[in-house]
Chains A and B, each alone.
Chain A
């Protein structure tokens, strides 16, 4: 019974992954035979402070920043909205759930183009709106300090429906007697949320933590559309995804381009993301159950 799934998965996911690790041991431009075996040369290049390390660590810090902000937003807004949804009647709740999921269904690339139109400085709708309200309009996507948080904000806008549903699922599974008992003891709904429901969702917070972690290191489409492969302004939004893309498909000039090096960058990222995810899953199993 495992055969169809495992076979497809082995051929089209596991094998390419291993092949990609193999590429990381070669000096290879992506075409032609794999002949120039250089061992760990690409990895040495990735970690050499005078070579690739500045780019890799910059991208890494941007992914970390992305993760931290996205987790705060997903955790706080996701939990708060899910709790509110659990307290209203089911029809209304379903209506809001569907509404909140709509942005998730829009292709990230279309989300990106749409927001770049809405945020266009000068004559874009939001620029007009802030003029009408007499608020100074900031060209957020062109600002090196605001671009990354803006990308995180747009990402959250587009995916928040999912964390909301995951939290809601967990809240629904809390036995009603516990909530009733808390109310009888005199808790208001705010206290029920913070003192009873919140601590019981520890495991769910770990799930959101792990999913946000993985998602934050996979971000690519939105940065590609909003800021280009150069991840502007001045690389302020450069993440692993765009760094990999430039290394593999050009954008660094002749000094650092090639599939071998890109594969090494990806392998480093993969191992790192895997290790931390493993720690999160371990923490969830150890401390998640109340």
Chain B
């Protein structure tokens, strides 16, 4: 009798286990549901990419009896995708190098040292987040013309290497502010220069956020569309996004080539990300994002 009177107060262990198992099921169920929302459209595209044109239009949802892998070969050769990918790849990597070098140095100075104008410079950098980059189009076009890099992916290296600094300096400075100061103080006592502290102490500690910044800028440069649209004109210099646009213009109705071309252009940044994802996620989750 005594047990029955205490029963309502403490939940029986068995029921609790059932309810926590149900809870887990709901948690994973909801997460998986959003996973499907992400994946299903992409899988639909992959499915469409290996079908004949007639198949795409008549039975878009059927799995084809024999996949038309030839669609990919056709898209690759017709679209000259290899060249676009090559142009985009070196352009993106070079602009990331500029952002990481200049951005981490500036962030180190802004995050670690007090000097007149610190706050003002920081605001100038993050103000770059607040306007549509299209606004810079015409002045940048004239600048690039003066530098004789129009119709050359190098112009895009400059554009993404500089516009990328806004968000990167914001992320890097936030991280630099949170680094422990004991090391610097010890190094200063021993006579180290700020540049030495940057290279030997700050840079290694900033590695996770640098990985995040590098990936962000890689993706921005790779995915950029507006600037290649106005700065690049000849086909041999195009990056993937404008390349795809001209591909769409040419093969608008030939979905059997268009869809594989879209998938090929999606793949490189996704592959880079999957390789670097652990670092990226760690960098972004290391400190709270705050202006």
Binding site for B on A (CB under 8 A): 1-2, 4-6, 8-9, 11-17, 19-20, 23, 30, 77, 80-81, 84-85, 87-88, 92, 94, 96-110, 113-115, 117-118, 123-125, 128-129, 132, 157, 165-166, 168-170, 172-173, 189, 203-204, 207, 210, 214, 217-218, 220-221, 224, 240-241, 244-245, 248, 259, 263, 266-267, 269-270, 273-274, 277, 281, 284, 288
Contact = CB atoms under 8 A, between A and B. Distances in A.
Contacts of A97: 277, 281
Nearest to A265: B135
Interface stretch (B66-74, B181-189, B259-267): B259-267
B130 A221 contact: no
B194 interface: yes
Interface in B115-132: 121, 124-125, 127-132
Interface string B223-261: 111100000000000001100110010000001001100
B133 interface: yes
Contacts, number: 251
Contact of A123 (B58, B125, B159): B58
A8 B162 contact: yes
Given A98-B273, A157-B38, A110 B132 contact: no
A99 B273 CA distance: 11
B274 A17 contact: no
Contacts of B30: 80-81, 84
A173 B169 CA distance: 22
A102 B38 contact: yes
Contacts of B286: 169
Contact of A106 (B27, B109, B270): B270
How big is chain B's contact interface, by range?
35 or more
B110 interface: yes
Interface centre among A16, A108, A123, A217 (most CB of B within 10 A): A16
21 contacts: A1-B195, A9-B162, A12-B162, A15-B139, A85-B31, A88-B28, A105-B223, A105-B266, A106-B270, A107-B224, A114-B41, A114-B45, A123-B58, A132-B61, A165-B284, A165-B285, A189-B23, A244-B135, A269-B132, A270-B135, A273-B130
B135 A118 contact: no
Contacts of B222: 107
Given A2-B105, A117-B45, A267-B135, 15 more contacts: A5-B169, A16-B139, A23-B138, A23-B139, A87-B27, A96-B31, A99-B39, A105-B266, A106-B269, A106-B270, A108-B225, A110-B265, A110-B266, A266-B131, A270-B130
A112 to B, nearest CB: 9
Nearest to A171: B285
Contacts of B78: none
A189 B171 CA distance: 32
B70 to A, nearest CB: 19
A118 B281 contact: no
Contact of A107 (B137, B163, B241, B277): B241
A214 B140 CA distance: 21
Contact of A125 (B44, B143, B269): B44
* 3 tightest A-B CB contacts, nearest first: A5-B106, A16-B139, A12-B162
Contacts of B59: 128
A5 to B, nearest CB: 3
A125 B48 contact: yes
Contact of B162 (A11, A80, A169): A11
Given A16-B139, A117-B45, A123-B57, A99 B38 contact: yes
A290 to B, nearest CB: 12
A169 B289 contact: yes
Given A84-B30, A98-B273, A105-B219, A5 B225 contact: no
Contacts of A85: 31
A100 B59 CA distance: 29
B210 interface: no
Given A94-B278, A109-B244, A169-B286, A210 B61 contact: no
